[in-house]
Structure 1
Amino acid sequence: MSPLLKIDLNRIRYNAAQVKQKCHKFGISVLGVTKGFSAIPQIVQALLDGGVDGLADARMENIIELRNQGFCQPITLLRIPRLSNVDNVVRYVDTSINSEVTVMEALGNAAEKKGLLHEIILMVDVGDLREGVLKEHVLDTAKEISHLKGIKFGGLGTNMGCFGGVLPSTENLGLLVELQHTIDRQLNIKLQVISGGGTSTLSLVEEGKVPVGINQLRIGEGILLGTDTTNHRTIPWLYADAFLLEAEVIELKSKPSVPIGDIGRDSFGNIPQFVDVGVRNRAILALGKQDVYVEGIEPLDKNIKILGASSDHLIIDVTDSQKQIRVGDDIAFRLSYSGLLSASQSRYINKAFIGGPI
């Protein structure tokens, strides 16, 4: 049997509802981010059933597929639009994040030709050094945006934790609110949306420390996995096992822990390192690097250790497992965000859903 990704839709609905409830308490809307699971429609529907206020994705391919499947909810594009793709963006997307005036001009022209008004969120770089204009350039950029036809200047946003690892704080999120006030005061533009990041901002929500004025978060990992990688924590009030990956044991033997012979490079060009801990019970699973990002999975049984992987095989040490492992058994794994990202789009991994439509 092929590796299997088990997806508990009930737990995803629950997590979405919990996140929405906590955020709405502070006047913060929630966009359910669909890119982490390749916008699989059953999971998208679970997010909506849980009450998210809109959807967001970084891939136009996912967004177009969602529209073709009949999803008519507001969708935000989370990657700066390509200049070569503005026609598709204004056709399929309600809102896009932006930092380049040239692209915003092109979006406006494309929207005008179609008789549309495309909303943009101006991204501000508050320190993570990914997308966004620096704070000292925000007012001038806002002036340029205000003259664009076909464009609705919807608000300001920022991204944290994805490149530089910078954590959200009352200070850097407060900067967005200050910039909103400056734009209102000097340009008489009343922005509707101040988007304060994603899952990494939930800890501030829990503590009641999100600055007043932040009114949107874009949540993926927290709802899907109940984790917050940037803050290195499991979120205690959410399910952390809505996704489980299972793979079958295809060999089980006692073998030395160090290869015999001269060590060269493995099939991926790396020189492997081994520690001699004697003869161990080793299982090979029908799961490899071509199936999933191996560094993004962790055995559910904490007594099992991943030793390594090739393109088609995962080698694990099962010596200390309390369960007797046999050929044909399935071994279960939790996934990190990177693991889910790869498993969800892998055509070699089957998907099974627990909990149907409500």
Structure 2
Amino acid sequence: MGYPKIIVNLKKIKHNAFIINKKCNDYGISVMGITKSFLADPIITQILVDSGIEFIGDSRIENLKKIEHIKIPKVLIRIPMISEAKDVVLLSDISLNSEIKTIEALNSSSKLHNKIHKIILMIEMGDFREGILFNEIENILEKIKTLKHIDLIGVGTNFTCYGGIIPDGNKLKKFSEIVSFIENKLQKNLKIISGGNSSSLHLLGKVDFGKVNNLRIGEAIVLGQETAFGQKVKGCFQDTFILQAEIIELKLKENSLRAILALGKQDVDYEALIPLDSSIKVIGASSDHLIIDLSNSTTIYDIGDIINFRMGYFSLLRGMTSPYIKKELIY
């Protein structure tokens, strides 16, 4: 198949998905499996579905289109662009929203296609990414009530992704109080209360999740670690995706044995690469070359040899997106 290459271990991904889904379900929480890190590859996505996960979420409509044949509720987790309203209505069952103009566009598109589009309203809780402020809630709820082709089925919030706000019991309690306020204004119970992502996993069994009944989980499934503190999830694999790259130069430079691999910043986030040979040190990278130090390795490497890496989340995202990196799925 050639190199560079990412080897995807489907058995380990399914194991991780099953473990995390069960862990969440044991506390009354459903899982939305996030597929963006592997571009919603249909085979990998089906693995998540087979593990019992209740929803699939992705940030890009193009990815959801690839899995429209898979029978599971699909959620657009990046707030939509008005220009893609038609595709959002046709290709996702639910979308996360924070702008009334966008919700109105979704309503118009839904009316045109004789559909009811479900939405989750995102609430700002300090991470300063998407989400409406508390003082906007009543006004936006009143406007949503007038939209005949929009069904507000849930409320969500985000932690850790941008502002570095780590969830805790107090933040979940405050979020639950806002949910109660919204439900009181709507005079109905909401179906989905999505209280964060992989960074909330470490709180299961330790704090009261209040009204939260859903988590959006991506990294913990694909890499076996939570994102609040980067700790391993008990019972999960971290070597689900292995990057392989070939040595194209091997020379003694600056008193160290250095190798260049046919891989660069255009392909991966080199700072998020973890060599399986722990004695190897990643020195740096240019757009097309990765430089590593082999001085402390007991393995004798040569030109054409392959170096294996585990990948951090952003390296995985970039690597799976790169057309220059081949992908091999194994069972």
TM-score range, shorter chain: over 0.9
Query: How far 1:145 moved relative to its partner?
Result: 1.5
Whether the 8 Å contact between 2:172 and 2:210 is mirrored in structure 1 is no
For residues 242 and 257 of structure 2, the distance between their equivalents in structure 1, rounded to whole angstroms, comes to 24
**Which residue of 2 is the match for residue 219 of structure 1?**
217
Map Cα deviations across residues 281-322 of structure 1 (whole Å, 9 max, x no partner).
111111112222212212111211111112222111001012
Is 1:351 matched with 2:327?
yes
Unaligned runs of 5+ in 2: none
C-alpha contact 1:126 1:135 (8 A) present in aligned 2: no
**Native 8 Å contact 1:176 1:194 kept in 2:** no
Q: Which residue of 1 aligns with 2:155?
A: 156
Q: Which residue of 1 aligns with 2:63?
A: 62
Q: 2:5 aligned with 1:4, yes or no?
A: yes
Alpha-carbon contact 1:33-1:57 (below 8 Å) kept: yes
The aligned counterpart of 2:143 is 144
How far apart are 1:165 and its partner, in Å?
Answer: 0.6
TM-score by length of 1: 0.89
Give the AA of the match of 2:167. P
CA shift at 1:234, angstroms?
2.4
Mapped to 2, the partners of 1:193 and 1:307 lie a distance apart of 45
SS at 1:130's partner residue? coil
8 Å CA contact retained: 1:109, 1:149: no
Distance 1:174 1:138 in 2: 18
Matches within 5 A, 1:222-261: 222-256=220-254
Q: Displacement of 1:210 after TM fit?
A: 4.1
Alignment check: 8 A CA contact 1:121 1:157 kept: yes
> Aligned equivalents of 1:189 and 1:316: distance in 2?
58
Query: Aligned to 1:87, what secondary structure does the other structure show?
Result: helix
Is the 1:5–1:244 contact (alpha carbons within 8 Å) kept by the matching residues of 2?
Answer: yes
**Larger C-alpha radius of gyration, 1 or 2?**
1
Post-superposition CA distance 1:42-61 (Å, at most 9, x none): 21111112211110000111
- Residues 15-164 of structure 1: matches in 2 within 5 Å? 15-67=16-68, 70-164=69-163
**Cα gap change, 1:229 to 1:26, in 2 (>3 Å):** closer
What 5-or-longer segments of structure 1 have no aligned partner?
Answer: 257-278
Q: Counterparts of 2:18 and 2:212 in 1: how far apart (Å)?
A: 20
CA distance in 2, matches of 1:158, 1:306: 36
Which residue of 2 is the match for residue 175 of structure 1?
174
Equivalents in 2 of 1:302, 1:89: separation in Å?
45
When the two structures are aligned, how many residues end up with a matched partner? 330
SS at structure 2 position matched to 1:143: helix
Cα separation, 2, equivalents of 1:286 and 1:86: 41
Greater CA drift, 132-141 or 115-124: 132-141
Q: Aligned partners of 1:128 and 1:168: how far apart in 2? A: 10
Q: Indicate conservation of the 8 Å contact 1:196/1:215, yes or no.
A: yes
Paired letter, 2:41: I
CA distance in 2, matches of 1:228, 1:13: 17
Give 1:318's aligned amino acid.
L
Contact 1:296–1:335 (CA<8 Å) still a contact in 2?
yes
Q: Please tell me the residue identity of whatever aligns with 2:291.
A: I
Query: TM-score under structure 2 normalisation?
Result: 0.96
Q: Distance in 1 between matches of 2:175 and 2:281?
A: 44
Contact 1:30 1:53 in 2 (8 A): yes
Q: What is the alpha-carbon distance in structure 2 between the residues aligned to residue 185 and residue 230 of structure 1?
A: 32
Query: Quick one: distance in 2 between partners of 1:252 and 1:208?
Result: 50
Q: What per-residue deviation string (whole Å, max 9, x for no partner) do you get for residues 5-28 of structure 1?
A: 011000100000001101111111
Percent of residue pairs identical: 42
Matches of 2:286 and 2:242, distance apart in 1: 21
- Write the letter of the residue equivalent to 2:225: T
Superposition deviation, residue 140 in structure 1: 2.9
Select between 335-344 and 345-354 the one with higher mean Cα deviation: 345-354
What SS is found at the alignment partner of 1:227? Answer: coil
Q: Which amino acid aligns with 1:222?
A: A
Structure 1 residue 105: deviation in Å?
A: 1.2
* 1:150-181, Cα deviation, whole Å (9 max, x unpaired): 00011110011111010111222222321222
